[in-house]
A and B are shown apart, each in its own frame.
Chain A
Amino acid sequence: MNVAVAKTGNGRAVSDLFASAEGRLPGSPSVIATRREAFGTYERLGLPHRRIEEWKYTDLRALVGEVLPLAAAPDAAALKRAAEAVKTHAIAGARKLVLVDGVFAPDLSDVKALAGQAGFKTLRESLEKDAGLLKTASTDAVISLNAAMATDGVVLDIADGAQLSTPIQILHIATSASASAFTRSRVAIGKGARVTIVESFISASAGAYQVNDAVLITVGDGADVAHIRLMDDAPDAVNVSSHFVTIGAAVKFNFFNMTTGAAVSRLQGFITLAGEGSELSANGVNLLQKTEHGDTTLVVDHAVPNCVSREVFRAVIDDRAHSVFQGRIIVRPDAQKTDGKMMTRALLLSDEAEADNKPELEIFADDVSCGHGATAGALDDSLLFYLKARGLPEKQAQALLIQAFVGEAIEQIADDGLREHVIGIAERWLERRS
């Protein structure tokens, strides 16, 4: 125990976290045993820190220090606040699935409307049977912690050939300060299915809450999937999300993440192209200000031949904020004819802003086309002057150029309505700039 305390550096016994929550964690006795094991892994590792290569730029021990206790289940007042937040952030026409402080909220969700389109249950229900969903192909301290502590989540089954014309929006709403929400979801997409999944992370009242989310996605052959994540957390929040995506053959998978909030955030995505002839488009935008720290880490694993992956990432960093992009493309020995490209650009709006771009290619096949590029720079003065000479005040001229800069990533979203929704969030971020 003393070892664990020393490792987290927070001066308190980490196992308190688990012991005090254990009675509320769903699952059969075998599931609880799996959780204990996962918590043991977390205790042994402690929060990731800079000497762990994958976390070099996002030292959670320094940035976060301690994991806050499990949030209480939402009461009526919290659900009411959450309902207001849903109204503001819901995408028109989407089937909503709402998690409030880590607990599924059926009254705020469109379970009935979804029934004809997708199989649905909660993680809580799923864990009554077995612990399968608590296991992932790879793990680290935060993923282990998630497996130990996950209170709820959504488990979706999209049938073979299902064509969903409206998006499914999973809303994570925080209503309590100084507490953690642990959620884990799974989406299984059938062969030839067509679906759009949106995840929104928001708060109903600003506070220093913590989110630890994990999502497991499997995509059947020939499916066409758009997956959009919007991390629009409160300014003092912490959000660490882990994604595991396994993609079958002849799939089109379009992924987009945008971070516009949280004091500390990290999205780590592990995407495996496991079937031939698939196309992955994985894009992201970090919009950071004040002292925010935002990390997008994507590992794209070409496990089979003949797949295409494209990554476009943009970071706009103001004040003393810090953006991290780590992009790794792995090409396995058999994955001939892989075509993988990654381009990341950072726009620094202040002298104290910081960008770390770390592209990595690990290529074990000999007949591939892979490349990456990274740039960082300030707004172009000649463009700014042109706009000002046409009557745009400084901030408005900057805003127009910033929108154009992130537009290269946002325009990868095919659906007009969703793209407009994303642009709206980016515009609100621009308005928040002091």
Chain B
Amino acid sequence: MALLEVKDLKVRVEEREILHGLTLTVNEGEVHAIMGPNGSGKSTLSHVIAGKPGYEVTDGQILFKGEDLLEMSPDERAAKGVFLAFQYPVEIPGVATMTFLRTALNAQRKARGESEYSTPDFLKKVREVSKSLNIPQDMLKRGVNVGFSGGEKKRNEVLQMALFEPSLCILDEMDSGLDIDALRIAADGVNALRSPKRAMVVITHYQRLLNYIVPDVVHVMSKGRVVKSGGKELALELEASGYAQFEDAA
């Protein structure tokens, strides 16, 4: 079943069109990789799906579980099951990570008409997941991402993915700023969350990440469009030949 349907999406930032009619369908259980050179519009796509302000959709639509995503506020999208793992997770001094996690989880549950998590259940769940991601307990007491290393910030994103249990995870350049060990831990966390009901869109510049998170489908983006789609072997092909051929195609 189609979870995410992006149809002929055109997006402007200020006066400049960044996406020129992008079409993409992601089904339940699938992992899609979106690759492309800098400036091809990869991050713009992830931001528009999550609802970041500052982008003007001039044409096309985005359906999530058949519903019009563009009509929803960012928090409504999160409650429906859309999760964006940020390329650069922000630091929020003064908001303890634990408080943030519980507030966010309960806000999503409330929006869905579900009961709030009890404190013991919540704590148990956080401890479980944070242990598997190698996140020390004292990190959870600190301000959100405050003083975290690049790897810790990305692991914190994966921790949230595991807690919120979204049906669509968009990983925006998850590998940026990570050394190989940090990348492996984060990728293992992501892989543990793969399930027949959950889809993932992995946005990356480099093939390297896809050695750890192996995609079902690979899309190549160039100049605001998907110019080629294929299996995981497409990523290897790109690694060998580079993006130049597609820039001409677009």
Interface residues of A, Cβ cutoff 8 Å to B: 380-383, 385-394, 396-397, 400-401, 403-405, 407-408
Contacts and interface: CB of A to CB of B under 8 A. Distances in A.
A405 B52 CA distance: 23
B29 to A, nearest CB: 23
Given A387-B104, A393-B75, A404 B50 contact: no
Interface residues of B, number: 29
Contacts of A385: 52-53, 74
B107 A386 contact: no
Contacts of B103: 392, 396, 400
A388 B94 contact: no
Interface stretch (B14-22, B57-65, B84-92, B231-239): B84-92
A407 B107 contact: no
Contacts of A400: 95, 99-100, 103
Contact of B78 (A391, A396, A403, A404): A391
B84 A404 contact: no
Nearest to B92: A383
A382 B47 CA distance: 12
A377 to B, nearest CB: 14
A220 B105 CA distance: 50
Contacts of A380: 90
A404 B75 contact: no
B90 A391 contact: no
Contacts of A382: 90
B44 interface: no
A394 B73 contact: yes
Given A382-B90, A400-B95, A388 B100 contact: no
B107 A403 contact: no
Contacts of A393: 73, 75, 107, 111
B62 to A, nearest CB: 15
Contact of B89 (A386, A396, A403, A404): A386
Interface of B: 50-53, 73-75, 77-79, 84, 86, 89-90, 92-95, 99-100, 103-105, 107-108, 111, 143, 160, 164
B80 to A, nearest CB: 10
A383 B90 contact: yes
Secondary structure at the B interface, as helix, strand, loop or mixed, is: helix
Given A387-B92, A389-B86, 20 more contacts: A388-B51, A388-B73, A388-B74, A389-B78, A390-B75, A390-B100, A390-B107, A391-B105, A391-B107, A391-B164, A392-B103, A393-B73, A393-B75, A396-B107, A400-B95, A400-B100, A404-B93, A404-B94, A405-B94, A407-B94
Contacts of A392: 75, 103-104, 107
8 contacts: A387-B92, A389-B52, A389-B78, A390-B160, A390-B164, A392-B107, A397-B75, A400-B95
Contacts of B95: 400-401, 403-404
A385 B73 CA distance: 10
B95 to A, nearest CB: 5
Contact of A390 (B52, B94, B99, B104): B104
B143 to A, nearest CB: 8
Contacts of A408: 94
- Give the 6 A-B CB pairs with smallest separation, nearest first: A404-B94, A391-B108, A391-B78, A388-B74, A390-B104, A407-B94
Nearest to B82: A389
Contacts of B51: 388-389
Given A381-B53, A385-B53, A385-B74, A391 B92 contact: no
Contacts of B73: 388, 393-394
A394 B90 CA distance: 17
Contacts of A407: 94
A434 B78 CA distance: 24
Contacts of B105: 391
Contacts of B79: 391
A212 to B, nearest CB: 35
B100 A391 contact: no
B78 A390 contact: yes
A404 B53 CA distance: 23
A387 B104 CA distance: 8
A382 B88 CA distance: 11
